[in-house]
Structure 1
Amino acid sequence: MNATDRTPFDLLTSALAGDPGRPLVTFYDDATGERVELSVATFANWVAKTANLLQGDLSAGPGDRVALLLPAHWQTAVWLLACSAVGAVADVAGDPAAADVVVSGPDGLEAARACRGERVALALRPLGGRFPRTPDGFVDYAAEVPGQGDRFAPFAPVDAEDPGLIVAGREFSAAEVVERAEAEAPSLDLTGPGSRILSALPYDTWQGLSAGLYSPLATGGSVVLCRHLDRLDEEALAKRIEAERVTAVRR
């Protein structure tokens, strides 16, 4: 983390300038057998494309609320950082009726229809696949994001003191997210570059977001993000921890 890093997107920009080839997010879904590993560079590319989609096609800007009806998933992490890039407020599990944009996985589509603004559907399929048929009233993220630009520049300045995140009813400015993520890293056993945390915590609490994204990003570490980890027995979990060179676990 650099002294000039005030927002989560700033943290990603610094990570990209430092060591773009290192792993940042490794995702497992033990219900499907999926494993995806994203380097800093690959993750940043997804964030840039998503931020361009959010700002350009969906007309979101600073202060707009983006309800994220999504599980702990690598694409959710991308959306959290894209919101930071644009200056929009990422409202995790927020009320779609109060949002300017809603982003939903398959399980939240009915609730997401309460949003009067733009609606984005994520199939959450392996390899970022599309829906077989785009849900009515939504755009399919997997169909729209590939054609977006690989570089992002905000149309309007992003103020780190403005609201950047809402989770479990608590609002944080972008600067607070960065400050808390760095301050809490030692309690997560994240000691700096090379630290690698396995997190099976959901993303609907600050603790889950801190362990599963923000604190690893703030300290130059990485995260092994696991969904449906309860399907593994202890022996299989121990093998994963060893294979992934995990240094800390939160579940």
Structure 2
Amino acid sequence: MNSSDRTPADLLRSALAADPARPLVTFYDDATGERVELSVATFANWVAKTANLLQGDLAAEPGDRLALLLPAHWQSAVWLLACSSVGVVAEVQGDPAAADLVVTGPDTLERARACRGERVALALRPMGGRFPRTPEGFADYAVEVPGQGDRFAPFAPVDPEAPALAVGGIGLTGAQLVARAREDADALGLAPGSRLLTGRSYDSWDGLSAGLFAPLAAGGSVVLCRHLGQLDAAGLAERTRSERVTNTAV
């Protein structure tokens, strides 16, 4: 990645310029058997559409606080980068009552209702499927995002020194997040082309870093596994082989 990258959105733009066709996020849900692989270009397209939804339809502005109530999932990764693209602070498992808007999965709908701002719900179904019936009081992400634009331009430049992420009692600016992701990439032994397999949850910095930010900062990719504990040793060994995993953080 470029040394001039100072926000997660910068990292993604550099990855897109370097090799848009390479895998970036490969997602498994070992409770359902789901597997999704997104190239840099496909992931960036989801991010652009989501950022347009966030900035346009949801009227989010830089500095707004978004409670992100989602598990480790490829769509969660998309939302993290969309927030960075707009300048919105992603508060992972944050308090919806104190947030300007909330993004929730199906298991935290009642908690998310405490938000008095815009509410978006994700069904987290295979292939980004929609809810059979949209939850009352929420916009269904799978319904709203397909029609959004494939390119995104923020109304105002994102300040790398502004707050970008809050998780597990840690608050980071965009520049701090990138610096810490690079340090973690070094500690994990990541290099351009590395494939990191992780089963860590997205409720801590370590989980977010291994599950997205460190591989992105290193020019590598992540094999993000939800419910990895349901996989036996033989299954894990086969996944490591078939996915050409070079590093692990489980």
TM-score, normalising length from structure 2?
0.99
Q: Which residue of 1 aligns with 2:26?
A: 26
List structure 1 runs of 4+ shifted beyond 2 angstroms.
none
The 5-angstrom pairing of residues 145-160 of structure 1 reads 145-160=145-160
1:157-192 superposed Cα distances (whole Å, 9 cap, x missing partner): 2100000000002110010010000012121121x1
Gaps of 5+ in 1: none
1:5-61 superposed Cα distances (whole Å, 9 cap, x missing partner): 100000000100110000000000011100000000000000000000000000111
The 5-angstrom pairing of residues 142-221 of structure 1 reads 142-190=142-190, 192-221=191-220
Q: Which residue of 2 aligns with 1:229?
A: 228
Q: Which residue of 2 aligns with 1:80?
A: 80
> Take 2:147 and 2:101, find their aligned partners in 1: how far apart are those partners?
20
Deviation at 1:108?
Answer: 0.6
Report the 3-state secondary structure (helix = DSSP H, G, I; strand = E; otherwise coil) of the residue aligned with 1:165: strand
Report the 3-state secondary structure (helix = DSSP H, G, I; strand = E; otherwise coil) of the residue aligned with 1:102: strand
1:64-86 superposed Cα distances (whole Å, 9 cap, x missing partner): 00110000000000000000000
Deviation at 1:249?
Answer: 1.1
Deviation at 1:201?
Answer: 0.2
1:62-117 superposed Cα distances (whole Å, 9 cap, x missing partner): 10001100000000000000000000000000000011110000011000000000
Matched, 1:7 2:7: yes
Q: Which residue of 2 aligns with 1:54?
A: 54
> Take 1:198 and 1:123, find their aligned partners in 2: how far apart are those partners?
24
> Take 1:61 and 1:221, find their aligned partners in 2: how far apart are those partners?
31
* Letter of the 1:66 counterpart: L
Deviation at 1:3?
Answer: 2.0
Deviation at 1:149?
Answer: 0.1
RMSD of Structure 2 on Structure 1 (CA): 0.5
> Take 2:231 and 2:240, find their aligned partners in 1: how far apart are those partners?
12
Gaps of 5+ in 2: none
> Take 1:3 and 1:188, find their aligned partners in 2: how far apart are those partners?
19
Report the 3-state secondary structure (helix = DSSP H, G, I; strand = E; otherwise coil) of the residue aligned with 1:116: coil
> Take 1:188 and 1:67, find their aligned partners in 2: how far apart are those partners?
29
Paired residues in the alignment total 250
Report the 3-state secondary structure (helix = DSSP H, G, I; strand = E; otherwise coil) of the residue aligned with 2:66: strand
Report the 3-state secondary structure (helix = DSSP H, G, I; strand = E; otherwise coil) of the residue aligned with 1:193: coil
Matched, 1:136 2:147: no
Report the 3-state secondary structure (helix = DSSP H, G, I; strand = E; otherwise coil) of the residue aligned with 1:66: strand
> Take 2:248 and 2:189, find their aligned partners in 1: how far apart are those partners?
9
Report the 3-state secondary structure (helix = DSSP H, G, I; strand = E; otherwise coil) of the residue aligned with 2:196: strand
Deviation at 1:198?
Answer: 0.3
> Take 1:9 and 1:196, find their aligned partners in 2: how far apart are those partners?
20
> Take 1:157 and 1:248, find their aligned partners in 2: how far apart are those partners?
35
> Take 1:177 and 1:76, find their aligned partners in 2: how far apart are those partners?
17
* Letter of the 1:234 counterpart: A
Report the 3-state secondary structure (helix = DSSP H, G, I; strand = E; otherwise coil) of the residue aligned with 1:81: helix
Report the 3-state secondary structure (helix = DSSP H, G, I; strand = E; otherwise coil) of the residue aligned with 1:37: strand
Report the 3-state secondary structure (helix = DSSP H, G, I; strand = E; otherwise coil) of the residue aligned with 1:151: coil
Matched, 1:44 2:44: yes
Q: Which residue of 1 aligns with 2:125?
A: 125
> Take 2:165 and 2:172, find their aligned partners in 1: how far apart are those partners?
5
> Take 1:43 and 1:184, find their aligned partners in 2: how far apart are those partners?
22
Q: Which residue of 1 aligns with 2:241?
A: 242
Aligned-residue identity in percent: 74
Report the 3-state secondary structure (helix = DSSP H, G, I; strand = E; otherwise coil) of the residue aligned with 2:76: helix
